[in-house]
Structure 1
């Protein structure tokens, strides 16, 4: 996980500090970082970027190109790779995320270095246009990422997010001055930032001071939902086996790309409501370590809010009760894995204190529903809570820096309540809309509030191969109330009781929605 910030425009008035070509800021010096750019937007954005990458930060300014880069790094792989990266004095690269291209995990190669090698190779290739080479390189990447690539020779900046949009990225283009800002997170610094679309490759000319070709996509078409039915369940066994294999691969490569020293010294964390989706992910992680005879600790991050309207305490929330129940099912299934349930309690006063920060982080999302989801993820990923040990409840702070999430299962397998009464054409249409819009509806917001805690989240259900298989191969009748995932949980993971649990949205399970007596607000209401 990293934070990236790029600015192209008029920095000619900057002082000598800003004119330094490259400055580095080591760990633990983040509160003192200043680059004196005389640019209020950059100065305001830097603290957001720093919190996303607690291990290293750097600032680069190339006066010749009127461009500066600020990067922060959460180090998960060796060798440690500093950013931004000057590639043969031709490209400047910033990369935020993780790649799972074949071979990276076996060699424990830096994913940033993987892109560097591709870009260096393109410099020597005269068989196609530079723009097409860059587009082809971006299309080769498999993972969860956002990026900026400045082609210094062609005076073009490429930026965007992976095909699903699992990492946040926003930009602001001043059409009058031609100034361009690109940032992982913006807060409410300016109301002009817009979220990048998932999978769109943005191309900006620093000469023309405008965007070039529009709607260049990593994938040529949106995902389309299979509208066929298998009424007699003739393909039941093969479909469940194939989905199980896809999810195994997606989960395993998100484990093997964590450097071994991190797994040996730090747990893997899971955002854990106790429901079906996250329990499937926990079981798949446990299976990997059990089958490979490796030891690890898994932290299940379960959040509950004190809610004055319902008069519930965190320990009484539905997700806390479900989390404990599911934890007690998972733990005996995998006796060789150290599974810890971290109970994250959020007192109402602390909710009120952190609320403005989360509203700021999730911008431009600004509804009651967005806040109730975002603040649950923010506290869960912060992971300050309790564990029960020797029948005593003792304080415990999350130690894992890689978090797994079950996000995507509802969109792929029909988990939302509003889908229950739809006929087949309506269900196909809604599921197609859900998965193709998840970059804007969920991911940009969630990445901003989670990564602010200096952690990285990974999404096995949103692996490209899992999505492709789930949308194109699984008949629509297997996606009524997540039928196929529930059957997989029972037959392949032995999660019988968990597989029967109904869907409950996190804001209602954790009781982070409708916190006050003025509880008649709708989720779509704009925050005040």
Structure 2
């Protein structure tokens, strides 16, 4: 995981060449270079927070460009960014790749650099980008053509925004705060900025839109087989996301899971437990942290311990502990007092820009506090002790509702309308959820991974699963029951995080709706 910030100055104002490296723990109040713009310096703290292990500023006078990069190191060998590839290409990469060609001990950023290095003289950078499998955002500058290429993976799992100013300056950033003029990149689009022509174009799409099948199996004859196949593809998705973390991290730092206690996150948690217990880690008993966030809500009068998600998470944790006694499963109870909510609310509103509705805030602030991971463990005799999340890789169940029909509004739709709605949901998830969620989660110096949004999982789920298996998540509930022994959890109804954690409608202003703009 890394933070990306790039600034191209079209006005040829003088800048000083150089590479400045900042050690771990550096505090960024803003300015790193007297020649840089106010916007660039204002964005730096957001980028630095995403990669707490290393930051650097690279400045090129001849290319009129500055790159600020930060690194959260998860794969060996440690690789500094940005990367100069034979003085022909400059690369920034944020994310994780799961290409089979990347062997143990290899770093995904170095893998991309090697692909660029092996391009023929007239090779196509877009062909390199098409080869990448994973969750990522990137910038590439081609010195020969004087073109910048940037974008997000085909699903859009990493945030990235850009701005082209009236005087043809280009900014690209993982997060910006509330600075007007920035647009979120569309998932799967390769953007190309020609510095000679001063022209930005959307040059390529990395994939065609997903299409949900209209096939139905009203007799449920294929339910058993398709459940088995879905379990297999989900298992492989989780497995590669666990095993691509350098073993030292797993031995010394737990894997964390954003955990409401519901079916989506419980399926992910069970699969992580299965995979951990199948590997021989020298550090002894593997650990996972289940991060459950709950809010003190003045409107409802509920304390964090009384929220639906807290009660559900406690029950689901007991079930997982009984199933996987070889794993140290820690339920981290993140309590958010109302005063703490008020303290951080303006910051989260700023961080999630350009999202600005009441619903966006209630979801974003829940993920913000959950990923901070400052909470409590409940000990065997009932006493609680303070606990700070240790894991820096977080798993999320996002995508299950869009793939398997989890939202309440899907329940009574006729098949053709359900097909249309699910198709729209999965193709727009980069805009509806992912840009916002990545900004608020990554700000806490962690990386989030989405097993349900693996491209193989999406392809299987949209093409192979009959539409009637996606009513109230029938197919996923069957997988949870038949292959993961999560029978009790599989019966739990869907509850959105903002209602389960009680982060929505914090006051008695009954006129507020989720779609209302923040005031």
Answer yes or no: is the 8 Å Cα contact 2:452–2:458 preserved in 1.
Answer: yes
Structure 1 contact 514–520 (Cα < 8 Å) conserved: no
Counterparts in 2 of 1:262-301, with a 5 A limit?
262-294=249-281, 295-301=285-291
Q: Which residue in the other structure is 1:66 paired with?
A: 64
Q: What is the CA-CA distance between 1:291 and the residue it aligns to?
A: 2.5
Q: Which among 487, 495, 517 is matched to residue 496 of structure 1?
A: 487
Q: Which of the residues 80, 87, 111 maps onto 1:114?
A: 111
2:27 to 27, 30, 34: 30
The answer to whether structure 1 residue 253 and structure 2 residue 244 are counterparts is no
- The 3-state SS of whatever aligns with 1:283 is helix
User: What is the CA-CA distance between 1:261 and the residue it aligns to?
Assistant: 0.6
Worse-matched range after superposition: 21-30 or 347-356: 21-30
Cα deviation per residue 1:380-407 (whole Å; 9 max; x = unaligned)?
0000000012421000000000000000
User: 2:467, 2:392 → 1: CA distance?
Assistant: 37
1:162-194 CA-partner distances (Å, limit 9, x unpaired)? 0000000000011x3111100000101x21101
Report what 1:78 is aligned to: 76
Aligned partners of 1:84 and 1:94 also within 8 Å: yes
Q: Which residue of 2 aligns with 1:40?
A: 38
SS in 2 for 1:30: coil
**Structure 2 Cα separation of the partners of residues 484 and 166 of structure 1:** 24
Query: How far apart are 1:292 and its partner, in Å?
Result: 2.8
How far the C-alpha of 1:36 sits from its partner, in A, is: 2.5
Partners of 1:416 and 1:37 lie apart in 2 by 50
* Secondary structure of 2:229's aligned partner: helix
Residue 420 in 1 paired to residue 418 in 2? no
DSSP 3-state at the match of 2:62 = helix
Matching of residue 350 in structure 1 with residue 347 in structure 2: no
Question: In the alignment, what sits opposite 1:328?
Answer: 318
Q: How far apart are 1:19 and its partner, in Å?
A: 1.2
Aligned position for 1:100: 98
- Do the aligned residues in 2 keep the contact of 1:251 with 1:460 (CA within 8 Å)? yes
Divergent runs of 4+, >6 A:
none
**After superposition, what is the alpha-carbon deviation per residue over 1:235-291, rounded to whole angstroms, capped at 9, x for unaligned?**
122211111110000000001100011011000000000000000000000011122
Unaligned segments of structure 1, at least 5 residues: none
Q: Find the counterpart in structure 2 of residue 194 from structure 1.
A: 183
Counterpart pick for 1:243 among 230, 244, 254:
230
Q: CA deviation at 1:215?
A: 5.3
User: Aligned runs of 1:197-208 on 2, under 5 Å?
Assistant: 197-208=186-197
Q: How many residue pairs align between the two structures?
A: 514
Secondary structure (helix, strand or coil) at the match of 2:138 reads: strand
**Secondary structure of residue in 2 paired with 1:96:** strand
Distance, in Å, in 1 between the alignment partners of 2:399 and 2:380 is 36
Would you say the 8 A contact 2:10–2:168 is kept in 1? no
The answer on whether the counterparts of 1:11 and 1:37 sit within 8 Å (CA) in structure 2 is: no
What is the distance in 1 between the residues matched to 2:193 and 2:261?
44
Q: Indicate if the aligned counterparts of 1:412 and 1:470 stay in contact, CA closer than 8 A.
A: yes
Match of 1:311 among 301, 308, 311: 301
Matched with 2:168 is 178
Give the structure-1-normalised TM-score: 0.96
CA contact (8 A) 1:164 1:198 kept: yes
Deviation at 1:11, TM superposition (A): 6.8
Deviations 1:323-356 (A, max 9, x none): 0010011111000000000000000000000000
Residue 458 of structure 1 corresponds to which residue in structure 2?
449
Contact 2:294 2:305 in 1 (8 A): yes
Q: CA separation in 2, counterparts of 1:416 and 1:204?
A: 39
Q: Distance in 2 between matches of 1:84 and 1:118?
A: 16
8 Å CA contact retained: 1:57, 1:71 = yes
**Correspondence 1:384 to 2:367:** no
- Give, in whole Å, the separation in 2 of the partners of 1:390 and 1:431: 43
Q: Deviations over 1:383-441 (max 9, x none)?
A: 00000124210000000000000000000000000001100110000000000000000
Distance in 1 between residues matched to 2:279 and 2:28, nearest whole Å: 42
Q: Does 1:210 align with 2:199?
A: yes
Q: Which position in structure 1 is the counterpart of 2:127?
A: 136
Q: Which moved more, 1:386-395 or 1:247-256?
A: 386-395
TM-score of the pair, normalised by structure 2: 0.97
Q: 1:51 aligns with which of 29, 34, 49?
A: 49
- The SS at the match of 2:438 is helix
Q: Given that residues 75 and 105 in structure 2 are in contact (C-alpha distance below 8 angstroms), is that contact kept between their aligned partners in structure 1? A: yes
Segments of structure 2 that go 5 or more residues without pairing to the other structure are none
Q: Is the 8 A contact 2:85 2:91 kept in 1?
A: yes
Q: Shift in Å at residue 32 of structure 1?
A: 6.1
Distance 1:337 1:157 in 2: 46
- Alpha-carbon contact 2:161-2:182 (below 8 Å) kept: yes
Measured after TM superposition, the shift of residue 31 of structure 1 is: 3.3
- 1:3 equivalent in structure 2: 3
| Cα distance change, pair 390–233 in 1 and its aligned pair in 2 (3 A) | closer
Worse overlay, 275-284 or 388-397: 388-397
Give the Cα separation in 1 of the matches to 2:155 and 2:334.
Answer: 29
- 2:277, 2:286 within 8 Å by CA — same for their partners in 1? no
